[in-house]
Amino acid sequence: MILDDLYGEVIIDHSKRPRNCRPMADANHRADGHNQLCGDKLRLYLKLEGDRVTDASFEGSGCAISTAAASLMTESLKGKTKEESLTLLDVFHEQLTTDTPVRRDLGKLVVFCGVRDYPARVKCATLAWHTLKSALVTQRVTTDIVTTELVPTEMVTTE
Ligand code: ZN
């Protein structure tokens, strides 16, 4: 299992002590993601100033991989523009779903490349990223964190 290897240590660390795991009252983008295959659920919060992500956080419940993925994703998004974030999403998704050579310039995100050998876990690792796309694309500005917004299922479960 991938949790036994070197990269697994980073995943375990982020799953046990997830970074940016908190609701964000002043988020202006938000989306919910649900991976029905595993039962992972998360709500992603983004604060964009102009075109740049100045803060990112999440809350939810899920397996170690989905939690670690959300933790590392929110860390890597801060300071990126919307376009840079979507580009990173594409690169990350390609790394996990194809046999393309591992890109070391992914930084810490490279720890998830081992997941490609476990197709059932790919959805766990990409849930946060699918939710990110939803949050960025909906463009919805909202500060109401009580209302549940439904994300089309296909956006968060389709590879
Ligand atoms: Zn999972």
Domain ranges within the chain, ordered by starting residue: 2-135
| Ligand 1 centroid, distance to 129 Cα (angstroms) | 13
Q: Residues lining ligand 1 (ion), CB within 5 A?
A: 38, 40, 63, 66, 124
Q: Which CATH architecture has domain 2-135?
A: Alpha-Beta Complex (3.90)
pLDDT tens digits for 47-105? 999 999 999 999 999 999 999 999 999 999 999 999 999 999 999 999 999 988 888 78
Residue pair 126/118 in contact (Cβ under 8 Å)? The answer is no
Q: Report which of residues 17 and 115 the model is more confident about.
A: 17
What is the torsion angle, in degrees rounded to the nearest 10, for the CA atoms of residue 111, residue 39, residue 128 and residue 68? -40
User: Which 3 state secondary structure label does DSSP give 54?
Assistant: strand
> For residue 140, what pLDDT is reported?
58
Alpha-helical (H) ranges within 17-142 are: 64-77, 82-97, 119-138
pLDDT tens digits, one per residue of 89-141: 999 999 999 988 888 788 889 889 888 888 889 999 999 999 999 999 875 55
Provide the token pair at 45: 């919060």
Distance 2 CA to ligand 1 centre (A): 14
Q: How wide is the angle at C-alpha 50 spanned by C-alphas 47 and 56, nearest 5°?
A: 20
